Amino acid sequence: MKNFIDLHLHLDGSLPYSTVKKLMKAHNFPSLTETQLKEKLSVSKECANLQEYLTKFDFPLLFLQTKKDLEVAIFDLLKSLRSQGLVYTEIRFAPQLHTQKNLTQEEAVRACIAGLEKFYKWQDEQQDNSYPLHANLILCLMRLPNREQENSLTVRLAAKYDQHHVVGIDLAGPEGPIPNKAFRPFFKDAKALHIPFTIHAGEAAGPESMQEALDLGTKRIGHGIRCLESEQMVQYLVDHNITLECCATSNLNTKIFKKIDSYPLKTLLSKKIKATLNCDNMTVSNTNLPKEFKLLESKTGLTKLDEHQLLLNSINAAFASDQEKNRLLTIFS
């Protein structure tokens, strides 16, 4: 397989090491050894759970607090993804997490758009035979206490920039302490504004969190891998054409599964669930999409036919224009 699609990729968890080093230097941050830097950015095999996994976002966020930081981060990440063979991706980030140095949420969104458009100009100048990488942005609401104003603003910004590469919203953050249903007002507003959305669920929390997300009207669920704990949930996903954004290595890191051999992607496909394969966080999880596919080929027997179905599922679920989906269907036909 040469070409790939990633629908679930976090900016702050996927910064290339070279980009982090560049931003550290720009901010006069003391240099670190390779070992120290890896400890800051990536989980070890001893990662205990999702809570520990989420601590790996703290360090890269230090260097994503200016317009220049964000423009560089998006540009460099897209160059890296293109080199891996990606032809479409949706990069998600929470604008409210980039306001620690007086940047506004809107300025953060505009900076990411600028980085994406800079990448397109660079890509147009390349003279090779690879398919172009097209990218869109998803803005994350945060599942944190006392974020009503910030989350409401994120929804409005998604509507304002829907003609400028912003294609939807997400709800991210620790599963469990605050239930998905507590965010109903924001998704009600999103539906009124015709903003597509996806919601993290069924990862640290079980099928009940997925049901809450589905009750809010989502057609895509970030992770959702624990749906297999409930036959009723499996049937609902099939009957309502719900897409799961599966992230194998990430789920292994957070101890949803003990061994990659037992990762049930083939099971999901066999049950006619619209599963997709994604990275979640390339740097935190020490992975990329070509690695994910190769890993599941060798450890779970994922076939070329399975992979083709995963990619078709990604195309159908993408928050992309019909024109873009037709382009992708041509690539994978």
> What positions carry a catalytic annotation?
203
The CA distance from 306 to 319, in Å, is: 22
For 138, list phi and psi in degrees, rounded to 5: -120, 130
Per-residue tokens: 43: 């989980």
Per-residue tokens: 176: 């469990």
Task: Work out the angle between the directed axes of helices 34-41 and 17-26 (0-180°, nearest 10).
Answer: 100
In three-state secondary structure terms, 100 is coil
The CA distance from 148 to 319, in Å, is: 25
Residues in the chain: 333
Q: How many CB atoms lie within 10 A of CB 129?
A: 4
Query: What residue type is 263 in one-letter code?
Result: Y
Contacts (Cβ under 8 Å, ≥6 apart) of 307? 1, 277, 293, 297
The CA distance from 114 to 109, in Å, is: 9
Residue 217 · residue 157 · CB < 8 Å: no
The CA distance from 38 to 217, in Å, is: 39
Handedness of CA 127, 130, 134, 138 (dihedral sign): negative
Of 65, 61, 45, the residue nearest 53 (C-alpha): 45
